[in-house]
């Protein structure tokens, strides 16, 4: 294992509060200058089913899912099998549980070391309102070296609205847990970094949007995008914006377009099924050159698929889901912190280029919470280059300019009235079905994207080895991690993590690939969507391999590294 | 309006020539809108006409104001988003019976319920004019002129006023393309009404429903004051033959969003970011 | 049903364990459906339950019949297509208030109008349960439990019965999850009614709206015969507090498609092709 | 010019009846054993605007649009400029018009030869109800050598519902026109072929669907797909099926899915904007494995675009417009007659493979009417290979089988009850979010398409030259014609016209390209959608060039041939 990390899973029935336990632990860890990630997993039950808090503590902010677990705190074993694919144990793992409850076969088979903690009994004995999750918090806090006072303080804040008795019970349980001597050694990573942020990718995306100027949101709830909206509802209220809960996604995207037409930067968030409903009207934004940003938090597909789990299978629809020739922007944040930058960049690009931007986040980065160094922001664009709408009455909304971008005025601007149109139109905006107008406007809408200088943020490039690992969005972390592992076994790589997917920066990408002898395209879906897309856009001079694996279990750096190593070994042999 | 010179109706027409068939009822609505704009002395630069797709929905380009010709059935959503974002503008949404009651039906009932302060003019010719004459949700059951429904749609038509009322619309009126002056008067009232105003205009399609010239004979003009009682209105709307014109129903209720909802807090974006610091 | 042995309600349950929270009102509807099926002695193999997406929409898998768990808001469209294509089947559509009145609103009003002979059960908990508690079109204006609408939706809720009536639904009833026997009785009647029957069930969401346990105290059960007069019904539906249960409205009218619409002409496909020969 | 054809344009105000004139002329031509195509062009006005009947008469059924016109009959010149892009005249062209009306500058510039026919005057003089279009019919009939009696008979049939006076006037005008001696020589192609059909591509697609077993249609009107539906409404009534006019496309596709679930082969037709609205639910058909066929008659895009004109720009959305990994079928008919075969094939494939099939026709073949040899039919598939649902109670709807296709029963079938689901599910159909179930069901849905033997109809291949011209759908005709022209200038080609676009038959296509030194991908859109798609799926061993030109003017064989020749010449030179 190249990177030192500590992984802890806390599992229990839905009501047991394992997620709260994980959150408090991570917050306390953050206070002490630690770094880490919390992933939440639920069974299909709405309430009362099983859930799991999956923690990965690692000083270097490499936030992939853990490939194995150092410790599992099992408040009970009910339905543990649902998480079997995700919580991998081995002989080095520690299991903290009430030994009175029978161990699931998988745990026995893994040969994990079991430590008896009779959670129910201890919690009940400690306080009439005693809760097992607080007990577990105390126990884990001690193993991590966290002060019980910090844990109790944070728990108190979280339970501020609850009766005093309840809060007292929490403190008592935490203290009891923290006092318990447990014969188990965990490889605790170093702490002591400061200046961290604590947030989820969905919150980060919301913040990025607001900071980039979004003041209007219309949306329809959908998992796993709802919490972007829930955060933004509060945020917009404070910055003087407005959020409309629409009747459906068709209304949401059109309300967004309406607000944007009014000159107010506008945004919506959704997930696969909602994005599918929006594509007709995203095409309207493209044709009418109205700037809108759509955040799509990807989940398992197709159809309703697996709503609560992650996948990267909406790349195809994001790139190609609009009817007609409808060039637009597609971006993807690379990690939780990068959600701030990439969403903000998308908003600014949409405004500058007067088109639609689709941002592809996913459930993994969207709903995981992490401690991160202060996120980078997208510097505010210089004011849009002066665009003179010209004299009153002579305004051409869709004027053919060198850049493809025309002067955009908004209602209220005196004397530059026009009608925006999704019908093909001439420069003035009057509907036209002439070949000449059509070809020119098609070219204009394409050229303004192609000609724009996107700078260096189209991708993050690490290393300069001869083996290229190309991925997009949240896969970047797993790929980077795999590259580290490959480096240890002597394979030097070049990791290219794409942030801007459309327009694809083909020249820059080709340059970045120069000198590579072999390319691997890594993504979390079944069809190899990025792989086919890249091949369709670029002439690769070297062999290109696809590593595409659908969700919902996050991509495993180990498996990626192994697959790459195998191909290389075979190539060398033959 | 700051302009010293009072504009006439024709000053509100744009230079684009309508594509409508000669005799189309939509010309009346076009005239009525510009008349109402002149009567209100409305500021062209602060007015937006939003529409979907259909013959009727082509109207915005013919008025010298801002306009948005959207996609089929979604004009009301665009209009609401615009008005919520820009409460300072006067926003009118327009479209046909197909656009508004068929594909756009969900936005129609939700717009009635939401009560954003816009005016919605549905130009109802009981047919899909633009796509060459198929039945719409207001087409008579036995209208058998479309090859798509050769024996007539066979389904009872919607009564748009009844639907609007049941959905919560606070202001409901009806006009007829044979009487553009009345439409103009109603539009002016609708624009001034604080809330969602629904103006249902019977606007004949001379090409695909030439029989609609008979409407002339059966239209009645209501002199009675509008009903303010939902029961009475419901009773009337469910039974009426659909040809009583005038302001039919008016009720005051809170619009959405509540006024003053968008006051910004001092230093807000920074505070939002700060909350994420450990 | 040809089967000699009379099945009991529990025989109509499938082996799949519901994912609902303990105490969810949807359990009652599940029980009521199986009770009604037993009471009608319905043929499992000729019955289809169709739904959209939501906690409520998970129901079909829990009944031992054919089922289709579709996408959010479109259950009614699937159900109508199925029934028109296969008039021999008993088709029930089910879903929640979000599924049926928000995203599915257009299909709801058009299904009421079209009057295809299916039964539609809307399980209304005035909230989006599945997505963790946002406001729906029936949520009270001031319900401020969702972060998405922190001061409440601020919009007057729909009255589903009034909307159904205005849209043309010929059979309208209401049940309450606290009284599954009444729901069962109403479902049985709805299935037997020839036409579109709309059963509105107040079905509490214990998790996101625990306050709905108060419904118990305000529900009334109507003993009166259903109204057959649309005026009276409209008056009642627009004013009611939403908690009168029982069969509220019933009217006979022609269903769609008209019976016998699908008789094939002798040698038809060949004749169709022949018409293209020069 | 390699192929002898005669092109005639008849233009006039909307009310003048130029389309009727064109139709009657083509019908009469068909009676005499001629072959030809009628394309209709309208201005944006609903009624009263200008319109044009564009005829191409050619014995060999090469139905591309004419690149120039031998004759124009201009009943008036109003708004002729709208058609300027399409009706190209030169010094060899004849213009028949009332010389009293000023010629448009473009006509003058072209140097076309003008023949004076004072249509209005003659028609009025001939009969009080006299109509110019009937006069033109007579004139043109004479130039083509068609008997005036045939024209009068056909006109009488068409006007059967009109008053006698009206019909008499038509006959009189036709006779007057036919009697007029016009000093103009047209290159009339040979007639005398028999056994022809007269139909539009939209009618052909409707027929193909009904013959393949479609008995349920739900749809929402949209140009240019409405006339498929209008024809099918009548057709379904006769074959004992049912058509529902839905409230929107969302309802249409879901009603279609509902009927298909009931075991009744089901179909819908739409165009770009409607297809965009359907994609979410097409994904449901894919995930629930419910067979449906969607005919998409393409028009100019994006957004509302150019509703009445043709384009091939919906390839991207058809291939990739579904969210998640949602493999399905995409086909495209190659010409009007082929609409029968390809639509029938699509229906049968959808049924056999239990998935969604999207058929990409377009306005050009959909709304043009042609005289064609008896269309080929898709032979009815042998009954679905016996699939045993197994014992009562043990039925697994989504069983993993060798072929990926599972036994499908429909309601009414005793003892095999199941619930179809768009949520990911296990073999039984019970929702599951486990990695193992997800991966297996994803693979199953992909593999059943990949493994199927589609036979030889995936493409039409003509020639075996070293230069490959690859296209899809209606571009095939222009490409074939271009190939003929290239052959004349010594460039031997291989024309590969793709009928099956997804799953792309990569192995067969690679084999078909074997030995080619250069590939041109030809399509009618701006972005080169097919070009990028093919590159993404196939390793081309040779240079590949894109020839992509958006509508609305149909692709020109001459321009294609020239572009190909230029590239080849340059390559030879360098
Ligand atoms: C999504 C979509 N579906 C269908 C159409 C085709 N379409 C254009 S206008 C129209 C109906 C127009 O009828 P109406 O709204 O009553 O307007 P009218 O032409 O009668 O004024 C339809 C079905 C479309 N443009 N977009
Ligand atoms: C197109 C689409 N948009 C949004 C969602 C997310 N979603 C799933 S269920 C649901 C609402 C459920 O509410 P309701 O229908 O009232 O059912 P309940 O859970 O309350 O029984 C939503 C918004 C989705 N699945 N698909
Ligand atoms: S088709 Fe009908 S609605 Fe359209 S412009 Fe002509 S008359 Fe008006
Ligand atoms: S969240 Fe509410 S509606 Fe959903 S299962 Fe739980 S109680 Fe029922
Ligand atoms: Mg209409
Ligand atoms: Mg609900």
Query: In this predicted complex, what is the ipTM?
Result: 0.97
> In sequence order, what E strands does D175-215 have?
196-200
Which fold is adopted by the domain D198-372? Answer: Rossmann fold (3.40.50)
Structure confidence at residue B1 (pLDDT): 42
Q: How many CA atoms lie within 13 A of A265 on its CB side?
A: 24
C43 Cα to chain D: minimum distance (Å): 9
Confidence of residue B237 (pLDDT cuts 50, 70, 90): confident
Distance B73 CA to ligand 6 centre (A): 26
Contact (CB<8Å) D323/A311 = no
pLDDT tens digits, C203-231: 999 999 999 999 999 998 877 778 777 77
Mean pLDDT of chain B: 94
Ligand nearest to the CA of A277: 2
* A238 close contact with C: CB closer than 8 A: no
* A415 close contact with B: CB closer than 8 A: yes
Q: How many CA atoms lie within 13 A of A78 on its CB side?
A: 14
* C141 close contact with A: CB closer than 8 A: no
Quick check: CB of C24 below 6 Å from ligand 4?
yes
Q: Which atom of ligand 3 is nearest to the CA of B25?
A: 8
Bridge-partner residues for A94, per DSSP?
A71, A113
Confidence of residue C238 (pLDDT cuts 50, 70, 90): confident
Report the alpha-carbon distance of residue A17 to residue A19 in Å, rounded: 5
CB A504 within 8 A of CB A535: no
* Best probe residue, ligand 4, of C208, C210, C211, C215 (max atoms within 8 Å of C-beta): C208
Domain D5-179, second-level architecture: 3-Layer(aba) Sandwich (3.40)
* Best probe residue, ligand 2, of A221, A245, A247, A279 (max atoms within 8 Å of C-beta): A221
CB D530 within 8 A of CB D476: no
A211, A251, A430 member nearest B61 (Cβ): A430
Q: How many domains does chain C have?
A: 1
Report the alpha-carbon distance of residue A309 to residue D434 in Å, rounded: 10
pLDDT in tens, chain A (574 residues): 345 799 999 999 877 899 999 999 999 999 999 999 999 988 777 777 788 999 999 988 889 989 899 999 999 887 777 788 889 999 999 999 999 988 888 899 999 999 999 999 999 999 999 999 999 999 999 999 999 999 999 999 999 989 999 999 999 999 999 999 998 889 999 888 888 999 999 999 999 999 999 999 999 999 999 999 999 999 999 999 999 999 999 999 999 999 999 999 999 999 999 999 999 999 999 999 999 999 999 999 999 999 999 999 999 999 999 999 999 999 999 999 999 999 999 999 999 999 999 999 999 999 999 999 999 999 888 766 667 888 878 899 999 999 999 999 999 999 899 999 999 999 999 999 999 999 999 999 999 999 999 999 999 999 999 999 999 999 999 999 999 999 999 999 999 999 999 999 999 999 999 999 999 999 999 999 999 999 999 999 999 999 999 989 899 999 999 999 999 999 988 7
Contact (CB<8Å) D325/A317 = no
A300 Cα to chain C: minimum distance (Å): 14
DSSP annotation of B89 reads S
Structure confidence at residue D307 (pLDDT): 95
Could you tell me how far CA A235 lies from the centroid of its own chain?
Answer: 19
Q: How many CA atoms lie within 13 A of B134 on its CB side?
A: 25
Angle between helices A201-211 and A226-239 (to 10 degrees): 30
Task: Assess if residue B1 is contained within a domain.
Answer: no
Confidence of residue C4 (pLDDT cuts 50, 70, 90): low
Ligand nearest to the CA of C177: 4
Contact (CB<8Å) A286/D303 = yes
Structure confidence at residue A2 (pLDDT): 41
In chain D, which residues fall in CATH 3.40.50.920?
457-573
Structure confidence at residue A469 (pLDDT): 98
Task: Assess if residue C110 is contained within a domain.
Answer: yes
Task: Assess if residue B2 is contained within a domain.
Answer: no
Task: Assess if residue B229 is contained within a domain.
Answer: yes
Name which residue sits closest to atom 8 of ligand 4, judged by CA.
C24
Which fold is adopted by the domain D457-573? Answer: Rossmann fold (3.40.50)
* C155 close contact with B: CB closer than 8 A: yes
Bridge-partner residues for C199, per DSSP?
C121, C173
Task: Assess if residue C4 is contained within a domain.
Answer: no
Tokens, residue D534: 């093919």
B22, B71, B128 member nearest D304 (Cβ): B71
* B19 close contact with D: CB closer than 8 A: yes
DSSP annotation of C99 reads I
Task: Assess if residue B202 is contained within a domain.
Answer: yes
Tokens, residue D359: 């058929």
The Cα angle at residue D56 between residues D376 and D3, in degrees rounded to 5: 80
Contact (CB<8Å) A220/C103 = yes
Name which residue sits closest to atom 4 of ligand 4, judged by CA.
C129
Size of interface B-C (CB pairs under 8 A): 94
DSSP annotation of D528 reads -
CB contacts of C110 in chain B (<8 Å) are: 102, 105, 137
CB contacts of D308 in chain B (<8 Å) are: none
Report the alpha-carbon distance of residue D366 to residue D383 in Å, rounded: 30
Bridge-partner residues for A546, per DSSP?
A521
Q: Is a pLDDT exceeding 50 seen at residue C2?
A: no
pLDDT tens digits, D323-349: 999 999 999 999 999 999 999 999 999
Question: Residue A126's closest CA among A163, A180, A76, A73?
Answer: A180
Measured torsion, CA atoms of residues A502, A507, A513, A518, in degrees rounded to the nearest 10: 70
Residues 186-205 (D) with a CB less than 8 A from some CB of C: 195-199, 203
Helical H segments across A32-160, by residue range: 105-110, 119-126, 132-144, 148-158
The radius of gyration of chain C from alpha carbons, rounded to an integer in Å, stands at 20
Q: Is D401 exposed, middle or buried (0-12, 13-18, 19+ CB in 10 A)?
A: middle
D40 Cα to chain C: minimum distance (Å): 19
Could you tell me how far CA D543 lies from the centroid of its own chain?
Answer: 30
Bridge-partner residues for A113, per DSSP?
A94
CB A496 within 8 A of CB A508: no
What is the DSSP annotation of D281-341?
HHHHHHHHT--EEEEEEE-B-STTBBTTS---TTHHHHHH-SSSS---EEE--SSTTHHHH
Task: Assess if residue C3 is contained within a domain.
Answer: no
Contact (CB<8Å) A46/C19 = yes
B8 Cα to chain C: minimum distance (Å): 38
Which of the other chains make 3 or more beta carbon contacts under 8 angstroms with chain B?
A, C, D
Interface test with D, best of A302, A308, A556 (most D CBs within 10 A): A302
Residues of chain D below pLDDT 50: 1-2
Name which residue sits closest to atom 6 of ligand 1, judged by CA.
D222
Range of the domain at B184: 9-274
In chain D, which residues fall in CATH 3.40.50.970?
198-372
CB contacts of D222 in chain B (<8 Å) are: 131
Q: What percent of chain B has pLDDT over 90?
A: 85
Quick check: CB of B27 below 6 Å from ligand 3?
no
**Phi, psi of B47, rounded to the nearest 5 degrees:** -120, 135
CB D426 within 8 A of CB A308: no
> How many other β-carbons are positioned within 10 Å of the β-carbon of residue A253?
35
Size of interface B-D (CB pairs under 8 A): 67
CB A90 within 8 A of CB A558: no
Report the alpha-carbon distance of residue A408 to residue A416 in Å, rounded: 9
Mean pLDDT of chain C: 94
Tokens, residue C135: 């406001």
Distance C96 CA to ligand 6 centre (A): 5
Task: Assess if residue C2 is contained within a domain.
Answer: no
Which of the other chains make 3 or more beta carbon contacts under 8 angstroms with chain C?
A, B, D
Structure confidence at residue C242 (pLDDT): 65
What is the CATH number for C18?
3.40.50.970
């Amino acid at each position: 294992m190249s990177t030192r990390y500590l992984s802890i899973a806390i599992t229990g029935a839905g009501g047991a509060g394992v997620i709260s336990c994980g959150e408090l632990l991570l917050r306390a860890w953050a206070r002490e200058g630690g770094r880490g990630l919390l992933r939440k997993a639920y069974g299909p039950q709405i309430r009362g089913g099983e859930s799991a808090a999956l923690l990965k503590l690692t000083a270097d902010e490499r936030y992939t899912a853990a490939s194995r677990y150092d410790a599992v705190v099992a408040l009970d074993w009910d339905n543990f099998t649902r998480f079997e694919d995700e919580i991998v144990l081995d002989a080095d793992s520690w299991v903290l549980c009430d030994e009175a409850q029978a161990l699931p076969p998988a745990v026995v088979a893994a040969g994990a070391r079991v430590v008896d903690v009779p959670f129910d009994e201890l919690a009940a004995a400690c306080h009439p309102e005693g809760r097992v999750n607080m007990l577990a918090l105390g126990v884990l806090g001690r193993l991590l070296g966290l002060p019980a006072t910090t844990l109790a303080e944070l728990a108190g804040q979280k339970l501020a609205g609850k009766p005093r008795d309840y809060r007292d019970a929490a403190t008592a349980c935490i203290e009891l847990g923290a006092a318990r001597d447990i014969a188990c050694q965990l490889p605790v990573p170093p702490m002591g970094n400061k200046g961290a942020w604590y947030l989820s990718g969905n919150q980060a995306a919301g913040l990025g949007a607001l900071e980039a100027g979004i003041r209007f949101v219309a949306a329809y709830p959908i998992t796993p995008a709802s919490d972007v909206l829930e955060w933004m509802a509060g945020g917009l209220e404070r910055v003087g914006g407005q959020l409309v809960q629409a009747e459906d996604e068709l209304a949401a995207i059109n309300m967004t377009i309406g607000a944007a037409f009014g000159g107010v930067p506008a945004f919506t968030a959704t997930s696969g099924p909602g994005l599918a409903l929006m594509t007709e009207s995203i095409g309207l934004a493209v044709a009418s050159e109205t700037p809108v940003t759509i955040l799509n938090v990807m989940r398992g597909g197709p159809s309703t698929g697996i709503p609560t789990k992650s996948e990267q299978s909406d790349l195809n629809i994001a790139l190609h889901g609009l009817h007609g020739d409808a060039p637009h922007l597609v971006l993807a944040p690379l990690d939780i912190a990068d959600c701030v930058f990439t969403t903000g960049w998308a908003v600014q690009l949409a405004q500058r280029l007067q088109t639609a931007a689709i941002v592809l986040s996913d459930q993994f980065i969207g709903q995981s919470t992490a401690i991160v160094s202060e996120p980078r922001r997208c510097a505010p664009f210089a004011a849009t280059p002066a665009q003179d709408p010209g004299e009153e009455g002579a305004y051409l909304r869709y004027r053919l300019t060198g850049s493809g971008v025309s002067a955009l005025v908004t209602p209220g601007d005196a004397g530059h009235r026009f009608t925006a149109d999704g019908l093909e139109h001439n420069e003035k905006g009057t509907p036209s079905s002439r070949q000449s107008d059509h070809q020119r406007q098609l070219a204009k809408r394409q050229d303004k994207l192609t000609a724009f200088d996107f700078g260096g943020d189209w991708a993050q490039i690490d290393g300069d080895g001869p083996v290229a690992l190309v991925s997009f969005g949240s896969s970047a972390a797993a790929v980077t991690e795999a590259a580290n592992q490959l480096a240890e076994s002597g394979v030097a790589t070049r990791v290219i993590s794409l942030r801007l997917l459309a327009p694809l920066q083909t020249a820059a990408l080709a340059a970045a690939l120069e000198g590579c002898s072999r390319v691997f395209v890594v993504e979390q879906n079944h069809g190899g969507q990025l792989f086919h897309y890249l091949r369709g856009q670029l002439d690769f001079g070297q062999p290109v391999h696809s590593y595409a694996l659908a969700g919902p279990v996050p991509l495993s750096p180990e498996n990626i590294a192994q697959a790459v190593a195998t191909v290389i070994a075979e190539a060398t042999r033959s | 309006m700051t302009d010293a010179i009072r504009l006439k109706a024709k000053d509100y027409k744009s230079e684009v020539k309508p594509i409508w068939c000669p005799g189309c009822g939509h010309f009346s609505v076009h005239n009525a809108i510009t008349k109402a704009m002149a009567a209100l002395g409305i500021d062209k630069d602060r007015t937006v006409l939003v529409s979907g797709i259909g013959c009727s929905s082509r109207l915005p380009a013919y008025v010298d104001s801002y306009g948005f010709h959207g996609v089929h059935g979604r004009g009301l959503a665009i209009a609401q988003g615009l008005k919520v974002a820009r409460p300072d503008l006067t926003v009118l949404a327009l479209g046909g019976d197909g656009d508004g009651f068929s594909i756009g039906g969900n936005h129609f009932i939700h717009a009635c319920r939401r009560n954003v302060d816009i005016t919605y003019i549905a130009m109802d010719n009981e047919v899909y004019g633009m796509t060459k004459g198929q039945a719409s949700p207001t087409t008579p059951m036995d209208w058998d002129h479309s090859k798509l429904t050769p024996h007539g749609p066979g389904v009872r038509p919607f009564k748009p006023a009844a639907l609007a009322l049941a959905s919560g619309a606070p202001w409901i009126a009806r006009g007829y393309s044979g009487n553009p002056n009345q439409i103009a008067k109603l539009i002016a009232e609708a624009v001034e009404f604080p809330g969602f105003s629904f103006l249902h205009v019977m606007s004949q399609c001379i090409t695909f429903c030439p029989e609609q010239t008979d409407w002339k004979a059966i239209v009645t003009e209501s002199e009675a004051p509008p009903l303010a009682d939902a029961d009475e209105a419901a009773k009337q709307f469910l039974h009426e033959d659909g040809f009583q014109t005038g302001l039919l129903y008016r009720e005051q209720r809170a619009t959405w969003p509540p006024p003053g909802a968008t006051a910004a807090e001092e230093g807000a974006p920074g505070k939002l970011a700060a909350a994420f610091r450990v």
